Amino acid sequence: MRLFPVACRAAEQKMADLFTGELHPRERLELEAHADGCARCDAALRDLTTISFALDRAYAPLRQRGTLLSPARVRLAARVEPQSTAPWWRTGFVGRLSEATMALGFAALVLGGSLDLAVKPGPEVAPTVAAPSVIKDYFKTQPPTEESAYVRWLRFQLRVIGTSSAPAVRYPVGGQFDVEQYTTEDDWLGTGAPR
């Protein structure tokens, strides 16, 4: 490959391209060929190479430095509100309204609960249970003395004895038996007693 001689001015331009990495390999050979025959350009080429290397080494540690800056500082400086991921019912006017409603409800719940707690419960009253009376039970099981009442009592007793599921004895309530009312069919004795 034939290399054309370059003058010192052109060599100076090629040096500028050399340190920015934009010099074609052929032009670099031309530059070196010129530097072999020119002491000044040879010294300039060596010195600038040394300086370029020294600059690269001087900034090498700085190139490894970083920062732990967070984008939150930029958002804070730019007054950017963070993007909301809440559903529609928790954003805007509806969200504030629902929050206010929930707050009022919670306050009412707390206030009502505290009022209930403020009322002191009274002393526990045991349910009054009448003492069982053997005498009353005895007279309740006795047949009535009045005739028509005795007949109803007797029919009731016979009916009760005939059924196994019913209790054997049913007591009259309020002085009368809680059975069917007296009908004409009951008048089989022909007593003619009023109902």
Partner 1 sequence: MTEHAARRHAQDEDRRTDRELVYAARDGDMLAFDALFYRYRDGIFRLGLAITKDPSAAEEIAVDTFTRAHRALARLEPEGSLRPWLYRVAVNLSYNRRPRKGVILSPLEDSANDTFQSEERSPSLLAEQAEVRRIVLAAVDTLGPKHRIVVVLHYMNGLNLAEIAQVVDCPIGTVKSRLHYALRRLRTHLSAHPEFGIEPMSFLAPSAKRTVAPVVEPLQGEPQ
Name the site residues for partner 1 (rule: CB under 8 A): 8-9, 12, 15-17, 19-22, 39-40, 43-44, 47-48, 50-52, 54-67, 69-75, 77-78, 80, 82-83, 85
**Closer of 20 and 163 to partner 1 (Cβ):** 20
**Closer of 47 and 180 to partner 1 (Cβ):** 47
**Closer of 2 and 63 to partner 1 (Cβ):** 63
| Least distance from partner 1 to the Cβ atom of residue 49, Å | 10
Picking from 2, 4, 7, the residue whose alpha carbon sits closest to that of residue 40 is 7
CA distance 140 to 79: 93
Tokens standing for residue 53: 């290397």
**Closer of 44 and 160 to partner 1 (Cβ):** 44
| Least distance from partner 1 to the Cβ atom of residue 75, Å | 7
Q: Report CA-CA distances (Å) from 73 to 31, 68, 70, 79.
A: 51, 11, 6, 10
CA distance 192 to 105: 74
| Least distance from partner 1 to the Cβ atom of residue 64, Å | 6
Picking from 184, 174, 178, the residue whose alpha carbon sits closest to that of residue 166 is 178
| Least distance from partner 1 to the Cβ atom of residue 96, Å | 21
